[in-house]
Structure 1
Amino acid sequence: MTAATFKISPQREPAQPRILIADDQQDVLDALRLLLKGHGYSIETVNSPADLLAAVGRQEFDILLIDLNYARDTTSGREGLDVLSRLREIEDAPPVVAMTGWATVGLAVEAMQFGVSDFVEKPWTNTRLLEILSKQIGLGRERRESRRRAEEEARAREEALLHLQEQEREIAEAKAIQEKLLPREIPQMPGYEIASAWQSARLVGGDYFDILPLDEKTLGICIADVAGKGMPAALLMSNLQAAVRGLSSLSLPPNLLCGRLNSIVHRNTDSDRFITFFYAHLDGSARLLAYVNAGHNAPFVVRADGSHERLREGGAVLGVFGTANYELGSAQLSPGDRVILFTDGVTEACDPSGEEFGEARLLRLLEDHRKLSADELQAKILAVVAEFSGSRWQDDATLVVLGVCE
């Protein structure tokens, strides 16, 4: 005989219990069929161990009611014990109630060791037999339901783990893309200090900045925040960088560059994607900053005397409208001034109570430390925000600090 394969269906148990009866005596099978069918059981009968195992492999049963002796003039129960041994090899085999007319205490104990759930002697008492079957069917269904739930939970945990691993891979890939796009070295200009900082959150955002030498006396300075996180944001940021660098090579003023950039973003992104963007030309000789703010956090200009202004002129965020016009703003710089560009990851960093760091705190920090060098100032800002938030960066935090040398 070969071991049968038995599987439990995840579907709801049938209302009518299914029972497989195995006995070598036809009159016993007939009597049990008559009794149990009258009590709502679905019956199948076999008269040999081989047929029993074949039936179990073919379909599902709530319970097996089996004789332990099959060969004529045999009372040892060995055949039944062999069947029980084979049933133990079957995953999720149904409960077994054994019956025999030649029971001994030793045989009953041995049968229980082979996994028999209960034992009935021939001739049986109908009431006791029905009670045993009802009890064991209920217990068997509970065990199967418990296993089914455990399997579903295990599958759910496995799927969640696979999803988490996929997320981690995507986060790592997005972070790698973002790091490659950010400038490795910051171009400098005589008479100025330029420093930058990028603090990555676990879920990679879409922060981007760039410093672009346009000619001997002009630098292009930009900072942006792409809507979304993860790979979609990283890919959009990659496209943004390519477009900015391509357009900046045309020597367009910031307002015209932003107009063209807006059209490109609108054509090539989904309707729910947009970019906040700030772009400026620094004329080093004239100490003039010509800029456009496309819906970005307005940079601070902190003067040497402690006064400040915000760089707000511009227009709509990039990508929302097919056509957009942008106003050109300007700021005349003086020695000792500091210009601070930042993304919302700085001001929206939260402390454990949920309070945001906010622009007011940032401004006080800038006013108090305006005498620091550009590099010292960006480091100070990040350190203070990290202390405030407990280093829980919910979003990327990016800074560009421009200092006018005295």
Structure 2
Amino acid sequence: MDTKRTKTRSTPGDWLKKQLVPRAYDRHILFEEIFARVAKIFRLDDLLRYLAQTMMDRLDLSSLTILVKHGSVFEVMRTAGNVNVSGVPFPVNSSAISHLRRNARPTILDKGRTDPWRMLATKDEVHALDRLHAQMLLPFVGRTGLVGFAALAQRGNRGFSLHDLYLFRELGRHVGLALEAAMTLEDLSRESAHRASANRELELAREVQERMFPQRIPAIPGATIAGRCVSAQAVGGDYYDIFLTVDGDICFALGDVSGKGISSALLMATLRASLRTLILDNDLSPTQLVFKLNRLIHEASAENRFATFAVFFYKPRSRSLTYVNAGHNPPLLLRGKEVIRLESGGPVLGLFPDCTYEQETIQIEPGDLLLVYSDGVTESINPAGDEWCEEGLIAAMRHRRKGATAVVEDVFKSLQVFAAGTPQPDDITLLAFEADGIGKRSQGALEVGQPLPIDLPEEIFLALE
């Protein structure tokens, strides 16, 4: 039986397949290239520049506007083509943004259609959408939600096929992830730069604060004195001072400002400056001085800020020590086996404008050791969470070397052994004053450490010999 070969006739559908399938394939490959490229761009400016150039040139667009979320609005970051919409923000609670966030897919803009979200839009929002001259809103969706969107139009106002909508949806997802990563990196870079700047400022503040502590210690006939402060942060609120007064007394003080950080350091600087200024008025008694100091601190600080404070005036010739304790931990006077707590004074500085204070004068005996300290010393903790307490401080005072500098070193060493590397929550400050035997004299120039360069009367020098 003879068979006849039948000739296949082409149809219009076959021609369309030959023409359209390769184009769809090529367009798919193009989008895949864009997907891969945006995943490798980590700088926000570079990413936006690439998107604007590539989408305009290779996707045959006539206009493009890219908006990115900044705080509570979506702002224009890039425009291309025949559009000029700089300064057109979309609030996060606007109807268009709410629709893109819920829908998370390309939205076709057709004035002939009555979409619910357009009906809910305000006049300003409708006007802003019209200025975009867009056929489509393409949401950029990241892991955290909507991070931006693009308003775009094709050349010749051609429509978008279902395949186009699929590809653009995938593009929105890839760009959303890339935008999210780039914005996070930019935020981290900005935060890092800000932190570096803040660290430089803190370092400068620390250097300034260190200069506020005594740089040179005045020599004291028959006694030694030394201090040390270790801040829990870059700057702190603890303060100590040692200097020679106008009438030849040795003034030393220790204060502890409430709180930590820059605010405490500023109040500490105010306390130091106020004390040294008031000392120039040698007609003030210690109680009068602390009374005025309290007023100044009250005026310079917030309602919840205060400072504990203890100030001492030592007369080398008479070996008498007068002090006022303004709410500070009682300084410890070790006299042989006896421990005397110096508590006379009044309330802390700064809480109330008018406070009364008492002063006390004691006679210093040979071998007396006075230790003034901030609460960071006795509240230091070990790995178990136990505090060093006053007992630990007194034990360290009993087992120390002679001389105020050695006392401070030995107490700090004992504290470090107890803490065993545990970070301490508060500033730690010590001020040690130790009396030698009668007739002994410390080495050094008497006049250093004065609050201001002044000439002392000759009889003061004779009295201090």
Q: When the two structures are superposed, what TM-score results if normalisation uses the length of structure 1? A: 0.67
Match of 1:377 in 2: 407
Cα deviation, 1:144-190, whole Å, max 9, x if unaligned, reads: 44334324433442343244224313322321221121111111211
Give yes or no for the alignment of 1:168 onto 2:203: no
Q: Given the superposition, is the C-alpha separation of residues 5 and 218 from structure 1 closer, same or farther in structure 2, using an over 3 Å criterion?
A: same
What secondary structure does 1:376 align onto? Answer: helix
Which one of 168, 180, 189 corresponds to residue 220 of structure 2? 189
Match of 1:112 in 2: none
Cα deviation, 1:176-226, whole Å, max 9, x if unaligned, reads: 221121111111211111112222333311221111222565211111122
What secondary structure does 2:265 align onto? Answer: helix
Report 1:91-130 matches (<5 A).
none
Structure 1 ranges of 4+ moved more than 4 A: 1-6, 14-17, 55-60, 91-95, 132-138
* 1-structure distance, mates of 2:134, 2:382: 63
Give yes or no for the alignment of 1:150 onto 2:196: no
* 1-structure distance, mates of 2:265, 2:186: 31
* 2-structure distance, mates of 1:173, 1:232: 15
**Structure 1 position 15, deviation (Å):** 4.9
What secondary structure does 2:434 align onto? Answer: strand
Match of 2:453 in 1: none
Match of 2:334 in 1: 302
Q: Which runs of 5+ in 1 are unaligned?
A: 22-32, 43-54, 64-90, 96-119, 121-128
Q: Is the 8 A contact 2:233 2:260 kept in 1?
A: no
Cα deviation, 1:19-78, whole Å, max 9, x if unaligned, reads: 679xxxxxxxxxxx9xxx9xx9x9xxxxxxxxxxxx999575439xxxxxxxxxxxxxxx
Match of 1:291 in 2: 323
**Structure 1 position 5, deviation (Å):** 5.1
- One-letter identity of the residue aligned with 1:62: L
* 2-structure distance, mates of 1:215, 1:191: 20
Cα deviation, 1:338-375, whole Å, max 9, x if unaligned, reads: 00111223223333343333222111111222x53211
Over the aligned positions, Cα root-mean-square deviation in angstroms equals: 3.7
Q: Given the superposition, is the C-alpha separation of residues 368 and 249 from structure 1 closer, same or farther in structure 2, using an over 3 Å criterion?
A: same
Q: Given the superposition, is the C-alpha separation of residues 336 and 57 from structure 1 closer, same or farther in structure 2, using an over 3 Å criterion?
A: farther
Match of 2:106 in 1: 18
Q: Which runs of 5+ in 2 are unaligned?
A: 1-52, 58-62, 70-91, 119-130, 140-147, 153-159, 438-465
Match of 2:398 in 1: 367
Match of 1:62 in 2: 138
Which one of 355, 365, 377 corresponds to residue 324 of structure 1? 355
Select between 250-259 and 313-322 the one with higher mean Cα deviation: 250-259
* 1-structure distance, mates of 2:393, 2:418: 12
**Structure 1 position 290, deviation (Å):** 1.3
Match of 2:375 in 1: 344
Q: Given the superposition, is the C-alpha separation of residues 283 and 14 from structure 1 closer, same or farther in structure 2, using an over 3 Å criterion?
A: closer
**Structure 1 position 275, deviation (Å):** 1.4
* 2-structure distance, mates of 1:59, 1:347: 72
What secondary structure does 1:62 align onto? Answer: strand
Match of 1:80 in 2: none
Cα deviation, 1:118-141, whole Å, max 9, x if unaligned, reads: xx9xxxxxxxx85x6676565444
**Structure 1 position 228, deviation (Å):** 3.3
Match of 2:366 in 1: 335
Q: Is the 8 A contact 1:277 1:318 kept in 2?
A: yes
Q: Given the superposition, is the C-alpha separation of residues 298 and 162 from structure 1 closer, same or farther in structure 2, using an over 3 Å criterion?
A: farther
Report 1:123-272 matches (<5 A).
136=167, 139-214=170-245, 218-251=249-282, 252-272=284-304
Identical pairs, percent: 29
* 2-structure distance, mates of 1:234, 1:363: 29
* 2-structure distance, mates of 1:60, 1:8: 13
Name the count of aligned residue pairs: 320
* 2-structure distance, mates of 1:260, 1:149: 58
Cα deviation, 1:236-292, whole Å, max 9, x if unaligned, reads: 222222211121122322211100110111122222221111011112233322111
Q: Given the superposition, is the C-alpha separation of residues 209 and 59 from structure 1 closer, same or farther in structure 2, using an over 3 Å criterion?
A: farther
Match of 1:72 in 2: none
Q: Given the superposition, is the C-alpha separation of residues 159 and 353 from structure 1 closer, same or farther in structure 2, using an over 3 Å criterion?
A: farther
* 2-structure distance, mates of 1:245, 1:182: 13
Q: Given the superposition, is the C-alpha separation of residues 171 and 386 from structure 1 closer, same or farther in structure 2, using an over 3 Å criterion?
A: farther
Q: Is the 8 A contact 1:174 1:230 kept in 2?
A: no
- One-letter identity of the residue aligned with 1:18: P
What secondary structure does 1:281 align onto? Answer: strand
Q: Is the 8 A contact 1:206 1:226 kept in 2?
A: yes
What secondary structure does 2:66 align onto? Answer: coil
Match of 1:354 in 2: 385
Match of 1:386 in 2: 416
Q: Given the superposition, is the C-alpha separation of residues 300 and 272 from structure 1 closer, same or farther in structure 2, using an over 3 Å criterion?
A: same
- One-letter identity of the residue aligned with 2:138: D
Q: Given the superposition, is the C-alpha separation of residues 60 and 333 from structure 1 closer, same or farther in structure 2, using an over 3 Å criterion?
A: farther
* 2-structure distance, mates of 1:163, 1:388: 37
* 2-structure distance, mates of 1:350, 1:156: 37
**Structure 1 position 298, deviation (Å):** 1.6
